[in-house]
Each structure stands twice: as structure tokens, then as C-alpha cells.
Structure 1
């Protein structure tokens, strides 16, 4: 009977979301808010049907959030069509490096001097909370591959890059806690965790994305083979780039994002920068799909668009599953006292300071900088890093302390950013011709 109830609950949730999708776009609500509310209603705050313990079930949580993040990163890479040489990349790169470092530093200071955490625990907390989220931030990301608005491009690129660039600092925090080898004077952390792992992750994704993409196009355009099953192509490239990066001790998150970028680069290069033809954008289920997939001129655009469409569907399912379960963890007893002052500090002080430090000279307008400062959405990436640390031997007492702060931050972010995203982005679009 319990299983039957869950089928009914999940089925009703998905049907309601499908029916209300167009309405949500006009209201100050986000899908994440509704999933979170549904999870809370099913959990200890509601009927008590859902019981989730992130520490006891950290292995499962690590895998679930890992899958959700890599799918979202691949989709984000496919959406970003701007050439690597374009100056527009300066904004997301600086947000994912300078702003992220400032965030980690300020959170660490708060952890040590205001919460009484050890330096290792404080750095770990900063690294867990530093990344913005590519999953829950979908409402402020680029809408499609032709969207070049600086605000949405910056937020999408930041959320995609800093899910990988935060990893070295997670390892640093674990190392200072005695749970990871840093090497004498930190040489191993600098050489392997910082320099090699970042470069290896990006390089692996670019190489595999380019090789697989060119192979598929060669078979389609020359031999009319390898047509169909573009969903398998997307899943295969995600798994291949992620696994290969881990095998060479690189960061898989960066590899998956880079693979999506490489696949999109093939399409953009073949089209000489022109936007994908309209018939390609709507061809995933049309009778002309095979014809477009093997057309010498349109095959690259079709391949990229088909892969993007499939991964976006997976991304929505992953968001629903993870945020629903996250809501099932919430209870008044779970809310830590430190969250009452720490979360306003994080969202209203630390995030704006870090964004302003990272965007100086990056070409963003004052309005764009203010919106970027507000939309520092925390989400599934932070939950992944939390459970990753737990799986690397984080003591239970410290693990539960960090979990309370991190999950509270994600829940609050889903609510306050979910309420504000529709009116703020609508106002921005109306006031900025380039954003339309």
C-alpha cells in the first residue's frame, strides 16, 4: 500500500506541474518552490510520509545529486553558443573564480570567528556554499542557444564553472580536517587538486566532446548512419566524459560542461556563427528528423539541438526528485540557530561583496551586477559537495552541523529566489532591449 501511495503522489505532482507550467511563468513562483513545498508536506512538517536523513543516506544522496548536476552541466554547455574568444566569457569566468574565492574566504571567516568552527570545517563550509546552482537556477539562465544576454549568460556560465572550480577548496577543507592528503607544504593540493584536476577536467571534456561529435557527423553526412537515438548520444557523452575525467584524476563536472560546450562549438563553427535554422529547432519529433540529421549543412545543428532537448527533460526530472526529497528533510527542529543570522549574511552581504569584487571591469551594467548579486542561488551542487564530504569520513557531529546550515541555505534560496525571479526577470527584460 505504501508503494501505491507513492505512485499516486508522484503521478499527481507531475500531472499538476504539466498542467500548471504556463501559469507558473506568470506568477512569482518557481518549480523548485512547489517541489520543496510538496516534499515538506509529505515530510515531518506535514503528514510524515517521507523520512530522509542526509547523513545516514549520504551515499545515495551523493549519487542522486551527482547525476542531477552532470545532466544539468551538459545542458548548460549546449546552451552557451558564444565563442571562447568572445569577451563575454570574462564575466562568468571572473564570477566562478574571483567571486567564488571571496565567498569562500568570507564564509570561512564567519565560520571561524562567529560559529567557532575549525579552519578546515569553515573552509569546507565555504566551499560547499560557494557554487551557485545550474539546476535550480534554470529560470535565470539562457533560454536557448541563441540567447546572448549578458546577465543570463553570466549566471549560466558561473553556475556551470563554479561547480567544478569549488572542488579544490572542498578537498582543501577535507585535507585540513585530516580526511585528504594535501602533501608536504600543500604541494599535492596545489599540483593535483588545483592545477591538474581543473586542466584535466576541461581538457577531457573538450577532446571527447569534439571527437564524438565529429564522428557522429561524419557517419551521418557521409554514410547516413548513426541516425536516431540522440538521447543515447547525450547520455553516452555525459557518462564518457565524466568517467574519463575521474580516471585521469580530473574534475568530472568541468569535463561534462566542457563536452557540452565542444558539441555546441561544432555546430556554431559549421554554421559560421549563424543561428540554427528554425526547422532544426523544432525537428526532434518531426517526420523530417532523419533528413535533417543527415543534411550536410543542418546535421550539426540538429545533433546539438536533439541532445539539448533530451538533457533538458532529464534535468527537470532530476530537479523534481532531489528537491522533493530535500523538502522531506525539513523540520523546525532541524533549523539551526546560526542560520537565523548566517543566511542573511550569506545572501545579503557576502554574495553582493563577492559579485562586486568579481565584476569590476567585466562589462556588466549596474542593473546586471545587482541582479547577479541577488541571484546567487544555492542548490543541488551544494548538497552534492556536502554528501561527498560525508562519504570521505566527515565526523557525524560536524556533518550534521554543516548539513543543517547547507540544507537551510538551499531551502531558503529556493523560496526567496523563487518568489523574486519572475517579477525581477520580467522587469529586467522589459527595461533592457538586449535581454528580450
Structure 2
């Protein structure tokens, strides 16, 4: 059977890499008080298509034997589609459950999503995202923009990946600057400027004139703004030097300076102001984030998000929020393809050796006692020579082999990596903490 492109699947050791990453993310998010939720996989098509130009990416869902009405809809109900991100379903979830939530509501969500994109490295049809959001009722204080950036920077810093750069911009800066230039439709400019990572500045200059209708001077000013980056608040002076003035620009510059300086300082993650960042979806209203990984810049952003003041509303109340989404699959699949793996393919830390088939009950009892103390353990599949049982454990990455007590000796445990074999008390022995669960070896360990 031909392999389906765009639907990544992992071997066990590779899946353990993903599990290590997901466990780390959950731990950081929960340390900061974010509650876990999961939303349904489908939403009404019309609800999804309301949130940006993604109609070509949406997978619709219908029964094979569905009966359609003259409009093409399934007679059994509304047309449904798989969600293409977690933010739109979250907005619906907030509105439907507002009476049961305490605001500001802090949520994290790790779940599969689906997009009908052309499969390529870093882009898939089915993939895992990890989102965090803080949403308020009526209003949401700006300091949450800073908190979201800091929490995700902390989560990213603990991942076994190359250096990351968190790029931060603010749509108020862009819109205010464009309006200060006399541009009536700033939203026509943003997606063109956002292409600077993919096409040359000269091409962007041309498109701003041909597609957005700007004069050459306006286009040159827009390009000048987009080329400003800094790792501190010095970008404010650089923008001011362009000579454009507008109240929305002032507001955006102030906000952006606070987020950039507030999120800085996390080892392993470089925070920069980057004024080319706009984000493609139309619900962002202020702070926006993107993230690049060193050596994998061709993947584009692996972690993105921003402030959305009007995404969720029930007609009476508006629920503004700020959030950021990590593309777990986009991050990990290329790294795994390049050799990133876990130190074992199974969760077992111990293999209990089997002396003979008559001794299976004893080996099972030993495994049960170790498991009762939280030590992942399995029993050898067959009573082969101990050398073969050790090699079996080695192939699976199991670090320890337990030898049941014999007539002339008590229980012993062998670290098959070092060859050390010692007496062991079944009631007290435990592997080192770092061996208790599969882990991702450091780059030095992987190449030693």
C-alpha cells in the first residue's frame, strides 16, 4: 500500500521523542496555571470559513451514504469540516461555556488539526499543535501579551532543538504606519510585506505598487519599516526616524516595546522585534508572534500567534484574548528525519530475565513489585541464554536487566551500558531518575 503523504507516522523511538516534548510542554503550561481542554474535531463549515482565506485548506466531513439537498448540504444536518487550527474552535468553546468559566480563562490545548495543504517539509495534512491562550470577558489587560510570550519562550527553551528566535511585531504599528502614509487599506499591504522571507525586497516593492496600489515612495517607506529588527527597544527610534506619525502607530510602538523587553532573557530563545511580521489570518489586532529555528529557517514559523480582540462574541459580550500556537509536528518531523531520537523504543527501564519457563511466575512477581513502585518493567519473552536476553534489552534500549535470585546468590541487576552488575534489594532498588523514562540524549551523547 502506498504511503499517504502529509500524514506523518513515527516509529516507537521517534514517538517517544514526541511524548517527551509533549510532557515537557504540559509541565510548563501547568506550572503557569493553564488548564487543559480538548475541543471536538469538527466545526460547521461556515464557522471555519469566517476566519480568514483558508477555504482551499479545509477538509469537509460527510457520511459515505449521505443524502444531499438541492444546495449540496447533507440533509442530516449542517455541513461539517475538520478544524484547521485550535483557535477558532476555542473561540466557539468559550462562547458556549462562558457561564461555567472563570475569566481571565487560561487554557492549553494539545490536539490534532487538519489542513488540505500541499505536503512538503514542515507542512502536513494532519499534524499536532500545542496552544496556550488567555481570554477575558469584555476586556483583557495588555500584560497578558507579555505573559503569553514569556510562558512560550520558557516552554521552547526546554526543548531538545536548535536555537530558536521568537519574532514579535504589532499590527497596530503596521496599520498605524500605513495610515500615517495615507494608505486607506492597510490589510492589502500586510500580506505582501509578510512575504519578505520568501521573495526579495525588490519584488515586494514591485508588488506593493502593482497589487496594493501604492506610490513608489509609499512602497519604499513600507519596505523600510519591514526591514527594522532589534533585540531591544531600539526599534522605536528606528521607526521614528522614518518620519511617519499616527496615534495608532504610537500605541503599537509602546505595546511592542513592553512585550519585547518583558519576554527577553530566556536562555536558548532569542527575542527580537521584527516589523515584517503581520500574520496571515485576519483576526489578529495587536501583538503578533512568529518563531524560527536555526538551520531550519526554510520551514517558516514553527510557533505563531497574537492578540485577537474580537474573535469570540455572543452578541452581548466580547471575549478578547491572546495566544500562541506551537506546531509540534512541523518542529519535530524534520528533526527526527535528521536523526533526533529517544534513547529507547519502549518505556521499560528494566527487563526481568527469565531463567526457564518454570520460573516465569517468579519473574512476573518481580516485575509486578517493581511496577508497584513506579518502575516501568517487562519480562523477557523467552528463557534464552542470558547473553541473548541482554542483547534483546539492548536492541530495545532497556538500560537494566534484573536477574532473579539463585540458590547461591540474591537478586542482581545489570546496567547493560556499563556492564556493572550489583546485588539489588527488590524492595528498595530503583534506577537513576534520568533512566526511569525514555529521554532524548543531548547532541554530545548522540555523537559520542
TM-score range, shorter chain: under 0.3
Between structure 1 and structure 2, the one with the greater Rg is: 2
**How high is the TM-score relative to the length of structure 2?**
0.23
Q: Which has the higher contact order (CA 8 A, sep 6+)?
A: 1
When you count helix as a share of all residues, which structure comes out higher? 1
**How high is the TM-score relative to the length of structure 1?**
0.24
